[in-house]
Structure 1
Amino acid sequence: MTARITPLRPHEQSIDQRVLAAAITGGPRAQGPQHFPLTADDGSLRGPFDGFLRSPAVGTALQELGASIRYCTGFTDRARELAILLVAARRDSDFERESHEAIARALGFTPTEIASICALDVAGFPNDEALVGRVVIALLDGDLNDELWERASAGLGDGAIFELTTLVGYYSTLALQLRVFRVES
């Protein structure tokens, strides 16, 4: 598959694009251990982040939403990465899968757990993580039935369900953008 857009190198970016690129490369994604590079050797942004530059106003909103989902929700790191990887598996997003599998491995996910996620099987996960996984899979199918709503509402809380619906929508959006622009991982 040939990429449909060429990543913008820093000297090709407008002022608004440079401001957004700086927010991405200088924000929380760039803090702590780097499990996948945000930039290529030429300084261009990798993955979905280069696409954000194509519309700085929308890209900025997506960047801020993504940072909130990754760093400001009530989920454990494991539960969050489980949810992200389930979206990547269902949406067949190579970049999301590769980058977040690296994070998952650093968090202690086993190869068996990662393979289970790729198969959309959360049965072997601990109770809270399995519940997060079941909710994400149901959301990827379009809705929560009443029984799962009751279990999730009681076990996770309404705020967590809101955060999960947002996470699923955000990472589904990224998967679509990566696919449409033919972004390679």
Structure 2
Amino acid sequence: MSVSTCPSSTPIVDDAQRCDARGLDAVDRAIVLATQAGLPLVPDPWGAVGREVGISGAEVLERMQAMQANGVIRRVAAVPNHYRLGYVANGMTVWDVDDMQIERLGREVAAIEGVSHCYRRPRHLPHWPYNLFAMLHGRSREEVERQAEVLRRRLGDACRDHRILYSSRILKKTGLRLAGKRPNDAATNAGRRS
């Protein structure tokens, strides 16, 4: 599971200043540091994080929900490694869609099974006319092309052109990271309980 912290709409400042400005106390910061590389894959991830930072699992969950409500944590989500799951044909489909219909069609495309990401992006004319992006994953290029055809039919006459850009390598995907060490020594944890 992945935890994304501090939304990108926040002004560019030092990571600690950015999150401290949103009211993080030492325990919240310790929770972010303990989870920013992912939640532990154990039956009780909240309890495991709680043991690391010196509080109960219920309090970890409560604090994370509060940080999410305050915009410090954007989301908690599973981030699968598509390649390890056998989905080796990953194609970003790019579409030249009528601007008057893109909002409605973008929502429809995002809801289609197999679309993992869907974005509206600006055109860069005359070389890049595409304004709707949708990521597809398949076990083969043929499977991705079949999925793209489903999208093409959904877009109908509003779509003037499209391409499929296949991944050629895996890039490391991480969100914002706070500087600091994970809270794992007893002295640090004892100080946080007060």
**What is the TM-score when the length of structure 1 is the normalising length?**
0.26
Question: Which structure carries more strand by proportion?
Answer: 2
Structure (1 or 2) with the larger CA radius of gyration:
2
**What is the TM-score when the length of structure 2 is the normalising length?**
0.25
